[in-house]
Structure 1
Amino acid sequence: MDRQQILDLYDWDDGVCFRHPAKGEVPTTVVGVIHPRGEAQYEVRGCEDCVIAIEDARRETAARSGSEYRPGRVGEVSR
């Protein structure tokens, strides 16, 4: 899959990227959820460049471990 095909697998909304807050509001997607003690859950959002970097790392990890890589799953909760 190319970059745009991977990005199209996600729902995008304006937000602040967890790694690039200086960019301000940009298209982001949820890449994780944290649950601070005593507070409501907080969505961690990533920009397009970060999502592609995370997907690349997931692909490399899958290749090393011999498991299947399926794009579009960043931010999903493992069970």
Structure 2
Amino acid sequence: MEREKLLALYHWTQGICFRHPGRGETATTVVKTIHPRADGEYHVRACRDCVIDMEAIREEAAAESGSKYEPGHAGEALG
């Protein structure tokens, strides 16, 4: 899928990418929500480059396992 079409599947807001915190605030999307015992809820955010990388990993894993790949679900396990 074309990069811009893939990125359009996500809702982007300013935030800190979990892989690139040194870049500061940039356009990010929530890819996972975790629930630490001591602190309610934490949203794991990824920048555009990381979402593209994560989607490529998911697509390759789907092809290797014979699973169906559906774009727009970076951070989720294949189903």
TM-score when scaled to structure 2? 0.92
Q: Which runs of 5+ in 1 are unaligned?
A: none
Task: Count residues in correspondence.
Answer: 79
Shift of 1:76: 5.1
Shift of 1:73: 1.3
Moved over 3 A (4+): 75-79
Counterpart amino acid of 1:72?
G
Query: Which residue in 2 is equivalent to 1:17?
Result: 17
Q: Which runs of 5+ in 2 are unaligned?
A: none
- Percent identical pairs in the alignment equals 54
The superposition leaves residues 17-62 of structure 1 with CA deviations (integer Å, 9 ceiling, x where unpaired) of: 0000011000000011111112111000000010000000000000
Aligned-pair Cα RMSD in Å: 1.8
Counterpart amino acid of 1:29?
T
Query: Which residue in 1 is equivalent to 2:5?
Result: 5
TM-score when scaled to structure 1? 0.92
